[in-house]
């Protein structure tokens, strides 16, 4: 696919495959992936001021306050690498975040990956992530070649501490209450692409690529 510019938002519940599909697009098309969740987890790991502020919120499965999240994305979108293209993986997650984004950038489309709640629990409780490079695995659907070791960089795989069943339920509640209204928000602007996120990742990626063209400037 030959793209001049591709500014996208990835929507969808926890475990919908936002990280998986955006990493495939980053590798195959060179589009920068910006994940607010990854940025917060790095801050927690490095015990920065931001990390100390958000640690308990992430552990409980709640949402980080809008003004903090918006400030981080506003700063990140000022970097030169995202002038033409980006995928925002997990931002915006509330209507105020979407309205703030509209004031400093114009996304081409919001892609909503639809997945049923029962599949989400299966996906998240089986997820393993590389501590070193962030590659995403699944104990059943995408196991590493060697147990607990990243195929790509040899790093150690771990289970995110918000992937426990109780926390997943809190994240799903936050999603239904705060984030789901964004589907109507972007549909109303004629910028919503809905993709079935339940087949295997390669099928989801192929569907995404075949459908996204009509939202992009020629």
Residues binding ligand AP5 (CB under 6 A): 12, 14-20, 35-37, 40, 57-58, 61-64, 69, 90-93, 97, 123-124, 126-127, 136-138, 141-142, 162, 171, 200-201, 204
Tokens of 202: 């390669």
Query: Residue 196: how many CB atoms within 10 A of its CB?
Result: 11
Given 13, 15, 17, 19, the residue binding Mg ion (CB under 5 A): 19
CB 98 within 8 A of CB 182: yes
CB of 31 to ligand AP5, least distance (A): 16
Q: Would you call the peptide bond into 5 cis, given omega within 30 degrees of 0 as the criterion?
A: no
Stretch that binds Mg ion, among 15-23, 110-118, 156-164, 170-178 (CB under 5 A): 15-23
CA pair distance 179, 12, nearest whole angstrom: 8
CB of 90 to Mg ion, least distance (A): 6
Map tokens 């928000």 to a residue: 185
The question of whether 116 is a catalytic residue gets the answer: no
CB of 99 to ligand AP5, least distance (A): 13
Tokens of 187: 């549909």
CA pair distance 207, 179, nearest whole angstrom: 23
Choose among Mg ion, ligand AP5, none what residue 15 binds, the Cβ cut-off being 5 to 8 Å by kind: ligand AP5
Catalytic residue among 7, 23, 41, 127: 127
Which are the catalytic amino acids? 18, 93, 127, 160, 171
């Amino acid at each position: 696919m030959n793209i001049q510019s591709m500014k996208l938002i990835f929507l969808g519940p926890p475990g919908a495959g936002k990280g998986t599909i955006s990493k495939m697009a980053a590798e195959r098309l060179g589009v920068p992936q910006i994940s607010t969740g990854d940025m917060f987890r790095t801050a927690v790991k490095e015990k920065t001021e931001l990390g100390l502020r958000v640690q308990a919120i992430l552990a409980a499965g709640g949402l980080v306050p809008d003004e903090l999240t918006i400030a981080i994305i506003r700063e990140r979108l000022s970097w030169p690498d995202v002038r033409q293209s980006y995928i925002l993986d997990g931002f915006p997650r509330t209507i105020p975040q979407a309205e703030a984004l509209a004031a400093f950038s114009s996304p081409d489309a919001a892609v909503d990956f639809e997945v049923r709640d029962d599949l989400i629990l299966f996906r998240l409780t089986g997820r393993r992530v590389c501590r070193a490079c962030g590659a995403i695995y699944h104990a059943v659907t995408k196991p590493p070649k060697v147990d607990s070791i990243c195929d790509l960089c040899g790093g150690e795989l771990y289970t995110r501490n918000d992937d426990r069943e109780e926390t997943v339920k809190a994240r799903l509640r936050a999603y239904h209450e705060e984030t789901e209204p964004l589907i109507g928000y972007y549909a109303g602007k004629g910028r919503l692409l809905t993709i079935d996120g339940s087949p295997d990742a390669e099928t989801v990626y192929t569907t995404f690529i075949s459908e996204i063209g009509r939202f992009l400037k020629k």
